[in-house]
Amino acid sequence: MAKPLALTSGEPAGIGPDITIKAWLRRDELKLPAFYLVGDRDSVGKRAEGLGLKVKIADIRPEDAVAAFADALPVVATRHAATARPGQPDDSSAAAALASIRQAVADVATGRASAVVTNPIAKSVLYRAGFRHPGHTEFLAELATSGGRTPQPVMMLWSPTLAVVPVTIHLSLREAIAQLSSELIVSTARIAVADLKARFGLAHPRLAVSGLNPHAGEDGSLGLEDQTIVAPAIEILRNEGIDARGPLPADTMFHAAARKTYDCAICMYHDQALIPIKTIAFEDAVNVTLGLPFIRTSPDHGTAFDIAGSGRANPSSLIAALRLADRMAAARPT
């Protein structure tokens, strides 16, 4: 029997419960893979009641999730109550969200689930509780630490029409430029290529590598970084047999004709990668963490406190994340 996906609760006061419930209610219509929610049953039940939705909830063990999924939303308890009301995170929010992530990762590590799918977290809420990571990606890397070695996590935003990878992630633009190096570009691209082969079924992934500066530096007249940092990295990748082109002007990389020439865009900083994909594929883009010993996907949106509990939350990105996690798990080498 196929293993279920472990879905984290995310920020309990956000739209995570809303989209989880909506996705489960459409399980038959959309032929969704079996998943279970790692969280607090009472909190989910109250949210369903507030949304006016009839949802049967089953307290289960991970190994019972597939059998339960057809008739009830399976919930694996974390023993951390989530008491926050929609749109109003409280003192229970951070502990509940983090416990859910830890348990989902542990379930995959012990073979009880095939992949982790994470609902959105509120970083500001976690920071107030002492959370010291820039975001989900870096926290997951810490959980994957083994033998004193922490893997390099690589964030990919994937959709059927575009996949992007930012080399620097949750940094100010000033700090991102300061940290950018040929070595970081090369290591990021290598991880992207390895997972595109192993988990996306691409035998020869094609990379389009953006420049850092406007017009990729305009031969040095708009900055030297593209000549001294980006171009040497691309040369290393090409010498390794990786199909990498660039540095390319970012403003001409994302129109329809350009997107047909590559499988993944490697971008130098957060907004350079995320603005185009959120413009092109806002509802079906999926956040994927590459470079980890387990599969992790997530909806490509935030907690949306302003609409939590209102019934207006759209589950499309979560549905896409569940489907992609299932696809990646099926493609994982044995």
**C-alpha separations of 225 from 177, 182, 232 in Å:** 9, 10, 10
Report, as an integer, the average pLDDT of 224-245. Answer: 97
The single-letter code of the amino acid at 197 is: K
**Percent of the chain whose pLDDT exceeds 70:** 99
Nearest 5°: CA angle at 196, between 162 and 228?
Answer: 80
Of the candidates 162, 161, 144, 256, which has an alpha carbon nearest to the alpha carbon of residue 153?
A: 144
Q: Looking at residue 334, what is its pLDDT?
A: 44
**Which has the closest alpha carbon to 321: 101, 156, 109?**
156
Task: Tell me which residue of 188, 229, 235, 199 sits closest to 211, measured CA to CA.
Answer: 229
Distance, CA of 51 to CA of 54 (rounded, Å)? 9
Report pLDDT digits (tens) over 265-293: 999 999 999 999 999 998 889 999 999 99
Q: Where is pLDDT greater, at 171 or 204?
A: 204
Of 48-52, 96-100, 142-146, 292-296, the range with the lowest mean pLDDT is 142-146
211 has a pLDDT exceeding 90: yes
- When computed from its CA atoms, the radius of gyration of the chain, rounded to whole angstroms, is 20
pLDDT single digits (tens) 86-121: 999 999 999 999 999 999 999 999 999 999 999 999
pTM of the model: 0.91
- Cα separations in angstroms, 8 against 40, 77, 99, 103, 231: 10, 11, 9, 9, 40
Q: What integer pLDDT is reported at residue 110 of this predicted model?
A: 95
pLDDT score of 254: 97
pLDDT of residue 166: 97
pLDDT reading at 8 higher than 90: yes
The mean pLDDT value of the chain amounts to: 94
- Rounded distance between C-alpha atoms, residue 180 and residue 17, angstroms: 37
- Identity of the residue numbered 9: S
| H helices present in 112-259, as ranges | 123-128, 136-143, 173-179, 182-200, 225, 231-239, 256-259
- Please give the domain boundaries of the chain with CATH numbers for all domains: 1-153+294-334 (3.40.718.10), 161-280 (3.40.718.10)
Residue 278 is classified by DSSP as H
Least reliable range by pLDDT among 41-45, 301-305, 328-332? 328-332
Tokens of 59: 């307290």
Cα distance between residue 197 and residue 199, in whole Å: 6
Half-sphere exposure of 310 (CA within 13 A, CB side): 11
Tokens of 180: 């950018």
Q: Is residue 19 over pLDDT 70?
A: yes
State the average pLDDT over residues 15-26.
97
Rounded mean pLDDT of 307-334?
A: 90
Q: Which of 15-29, 125-139, 248-262 is least confident?
A: 125-139
